[in-house]
Chains A and B, each alone.
Chain A
């Protein structure tokens, strides 16, 4: 490997880590819902992309600066999150894990098909902030739009952590997550907490969808499935229910994805990511921050 190769390799990994912030946000959404309800919401990434599409609809009606797309996506994400809870969880027997899993698979396909029917599957341009900015750090160039996406992702994570650990809502959420029956006895409405969790994760998902659109510069229904897979991988590697784990895992997966792309090419790239997932499931099923004895 010569110097140019090395520079390119580092640059690829850096780009991947920055883009990995979107995976982190998606992972947080998956992990929060799992943490609170002990259920996997497979429609989460599709709902996130749906929210980004909804923000484009808002932008087509209102002539506003590009930053509004992120606000609109967050708002739409919250609404869609609430609807997902209502349709996919509220009236489904929660005691049967397969029922909610299948209902969210159905919602994934439904949201995807709604997007396809609304847009005929045509990819749409998505506004990016700072897309012309390249910050040169020695031989490396850091994309302004990806840095913005990364910074926004970090802000979301901090806000989310503050919300969880510094507010009454966060306290209630953690209480429901840890001891649902005891929470009920203490007067906490689990339904209300569940709805709010879906709305909050929906908001985060909306921002993640907008960040993805901004980072690629486009939106397509093609994004739903790979982002669902990436979100799940991040959730497993980060540890189900662990927000710090999801954050770190997202960045790791983003960086490794580009590293494998650089060294092994596109045909092997996903293979190594899947092997990584497999390795975690076997050797560290509790995720990055699990105790070493977590497996048993």
Chain B
């Protein structure tokens, strides 16, 4: 009787240990921390990025999760911190993330944050004289060109606006050879808008279009009558507006009032979003914008649905965040990252090396190339506002 009791107790204890062990294995998680603007006027970008990261995490987890270096399976969890689109807060947030077990961070939203933030990272890997932060960051939204060059720990999965506008202008020249002149409109105090207008202008001039000048305004301007009057006087064939939805809509409404009707209207990548349609669908009708996301492939459609489930909207920025989660999964597996508290710096080094070694990744619209400067070469297409929605106009790279 006593022997049976001991055997029974041993069996119970053994079973309990196995169950606990299994539970322990099942509970293995890898937290990926994103950061970006979740307050202030660009809050929607943070909401969308967080939703996209969570949607991708759920998709990965539903297929078994990620395999760590020791062979165990782990599930992704996503945390998202607010940097308020402020450089100082962005740096503070990343320092906070880097003080944990995290081996990578995803973000930020704003180019001004990325520019400052990448500046605190170690510039060259292995440079003992550089005490910069050795922590890999991969950006999903910050779109100003060439930012990843700042540090070898900085990576981006954002589309190349240079390539997109170069292609768009060339396409316009081919499809509309009768269009000879262009006039610009630029939100002067926003890094992304300003830089992109430079790209639009140089590409237009390079392709033989005569640029008659730009009208300039600020991000929070309330009247655009003077600027649009200049636009009206220029009477250009093409008007290219490099501004975010609020002022894009303000200008488009003023253009409608003053009867400015260019033969072709071009917009900023970030304006190919639901905000523009909510603000001025009627006036935006016909505007052409290059973008690296539209629900045109089965993967992109699925991603759009899943992001919506998490309360976000899939666009060229949040789609990048969605893709990044899959990139991280691949790098964790290929670099055999352990995701343990005692391997944090080793994991960070492996993550950086893995991201730097990537030559190609799988994107929602197709294969995404990687450059030596740690930037992405993403497939893109042109959309135009039609009947109150964004519709695909042309697919140059698909």
Seen from chain A, the residues whose Cβ lies within 8 Å of a Cβ on chain B are 4, 8, 11-12, 15-16, 19, 113, 116-117, 120-125, 131, 134, 141, 143, 212, 215-218, 220-223, 225-227, 257-258, 261-262, 265-267
Contact = CB atoms under 8 A, between A and B. Distances in A.
Contacts of A124: 278-279
Interface string B133-149: 00000000000000000
Contact of B44 (A120, A143, A215, A217): A120
Given A225-B220, A266-B188, A267-B188, A218 B225 contact: no
Contacts of B233: 4, 8
B186 to A, nearest CB: 9
A116 B40 contact: yes
19 contacts: A11-B229, A16-B225, A116-B41, A117-B43, A120-B44, A120-B47, A121-B40, A121-B44, A122-B274, A123-B245, A123-B249, A124-B278, A143-B257, A217-B250, A217-B280, A221-B41, A222-B246, A223-B222, A266-B221
B26 interface: no
A266 B250 contact: no
Given A11-B229, A121-B44, A266-B216, A116 B222 contact: no
Given A116-B43, A218-B246, A125 B225 contact: no
Nearest to A269: B218
A262 B228 CA distance: 11
Contacts of B39: 113, 116-117
Contact of A120 (B43, B250, B257): B43
B257 A212 contact: no
Interface in B266-287: 274-275, 278-280
B293 interface: no
A123 B246 contact: yes
Contact of B216 (A4, A11, A141, A267): A267
A223 B221 CA distance: 8
B72 interface: no
B223 A125 contact: no
B250 to A, nearest CB: 5
B226 interface: yes
A122 B312 CA distance: 13
Contacts of B280: 125, 217-218
Contacts of B258: 141
Given A12-B225, A116-B43, A120-B47, A220 B216 contact: no
DSSP class of A's interface residues: helix, strand, loop or mixed? Answer: helix
Contacts of B253: 216-218
Contacts of B250: 216-218
B217 interface: yes
Interface in B204-229: 216-223, 225-227, 229
Interface centre among A4, A116, A262 (most CB of B within 10 A): A116
B20 interface: no
Contacts of B223: 15-16, 19, 215-216, 257-258
Contacts of A4: 233
A264 B219 CA distance: 18
Nearest to B225: A15
Interface in B36-89: 39-44, 47
Contacts of A125: 249, 278-280
Contact of A258 (B41, B226, B246, B279): B226
B47 A262 contact: no
